Amino acid sequence: MQKFTLEILFQIIGIGSASGLVLNNDSLYIISDNSTFLYQFSMVNQTINKIKLYDNSQENMPKKQKLDFESLTQKGNKLYIFGSGAKPKREQQFIYNPKNQKTEQKDLTLLYQKLKSNAGISDKDLNIEGAVFYKDDLVLFQRGNGEGSKNGIFVYDSKKETSRYIAMPLPKLKTVEATFTDAILVDDTIYFLASAEDSKSTYKDGEVLGSMIGSINPKTWTVDFTTQITETKKFEGITLFKKSKTQIEFLLCEDNDTEELKSNIYKLVLEK
């Protein structure tokens, strides 16, 4: 078990259902699973800039209509946003360049169909909750909280356009297996978040039974450690804050599964 400390760092008013975040210089970029905005929160001025991903971007969209953005990651100067893939409208990707403030949209239907076919995952059970770029690979984290309980990762080789699925069962929190909710690459280690909910559906929320952090060695695709960090909260986003020889600090966001436009940002410190 890794030694850690967890504390609430601040609360952002104006953003709800936070599901992913990336710290870029002094800006904290945040996505929400029921919004079609990308939010830019200034850590210096404590202000929010709403970046439209659609001309008619909305907040607090009904569950049946939302695009369900669950993954936000960075490659080079660009931010990549992924839909969860559980429904056709959730198979979209948005790429945002903070330098020129331009946005691209891509349809991921063919990629997601290939992933589901390779892993034997049904349409309703695909649930992409995290994304990491590692060398030439795009690594997508499948949250196995559906009926099929397939928790694992897809490793997609962008040059060869091939993919493979690696099952990764995680420890139980109380009576329910934890499943992926986000991930980040730090140097040559992938750190991930996972939560447990008392539900067998990728659509319906259940009682939250806690969250854990862990790490994966991308050379062997094996889990190195897992540590439970809360018994009550569902953390859905992780980004690097600071690191030293003895510690690594992350910022986490919590999805409270409500329509309230408030987001708590936590600081998690791991001892190396």
d(CA 216, CA 68): 25
* Residue of 271, 266, 248 whose CA lies nearest to 28: 266
Cβ neighbour number for residue 61 with a 10 Å cutoff: 17
pLDDT tens track for 91-100: 999 999 999 9
pLDDT at 63: 84
Those residues whose C-beta lies under 8 Å from the C-beta of residue 86, and which sit 6 or more positions away, are 68, 123, 124, 125, 126, 127, 202, 203
Per-residue pLDDT of 217-244, as tens digits, reads: 999 999 999 999 999 999 999 999 999 9
Tens of pLDDT, residues 122-164:
988 999 999 999 999 999 999 998 777 789 999 999 899 999 9
Burial class from Cβ neighbours inside 10 Å (0-12, 13-18, 19+) for residue 166 reads middle
Mean pLDDT, residues 163-168? 96
**163 and 114 Cβ atoms separated by less than 8 Å:** yes
Residue 201 burial class via C-beta count within 10 angstroms: exposed 0-12, middle 13-18, buried 19 and up: middle
Q: What is the DSSP letter of 1?
A: -
User: What does the pLDDT read at residue 82?
Assistant: 98
CB atoms within 10 A of CB 136: 10
Sign of the dihedral defined by the CA atoms of residues 137, 145, 90, 256, in that order: negative
